[in-house]
Amino acid sequence: MKITKCKLNDVRTLKELSETTYRQTFGQDNTEDNMMAYLKEAYNEAQLTQELADPNSSFYFAYYQGKLAGYLKLNIFDAQSEEMPTDYLEVERIYFKQDFQHLGLGTQLLNFAIDQANILKKSNIWLGVWEYNYSAQKFYQKLGFERFSEHKFIMGDSVQTDFLLKKGLR
């Protein structure tokens, strides 16, 4: 797998990849109206451009056998989606296209995120996972993440619960 940092001029590719992977991951569990509302809000070019320009957020593309397979978004400080101590790094998004799932790429990308946290001298890495995404919860638990809280996630008119998981690094 090859990992490259996204640049501002990658916004269209990031938008398309974000929409595709999000829909593949959650489309079957949500109404089309709620899905469209969320995609329009979270993955429009202006929003993604703003996130790409934020010095406390970083996006990375993951390539497998030369093909764009997925992406990762990391946040520190005030870019995190929840207020956290300054020694925390958030994995806000980690998604792969369906054809690239179950190949061990998620583990590699998460290890990359842990490496970034260590470079930045963070002592904890955390993320949110939907309460009904059992396979993702099992995956994160296997990698040493433990539940420490939860928050509400709004998708259109649906209020959902994400479990917050963290892993200590030191």
Identify any residues that bridge with 5 across adjacent strands, giving them in sequence order: 60
Choose among 41, 55, 49: nearest CA to 14: 49
In the block, tokens 């010095």 appear at 55
The alpha carbon dihedral of 95, 100, 103, 109 has a sign of negative
**β 57-64/67-76 pair status:** antiparallel
Catalytic residue annotation: 140
The number of beta carbons lying within 10 Å of the beta carbon of residue 38 is: 20
Cβ partners under 8 Å of residue 53, min gap 6: 8
Per DSSP, the residues of 38-60 read: HHHHHSSHHHHHHHHH-TTEEEE
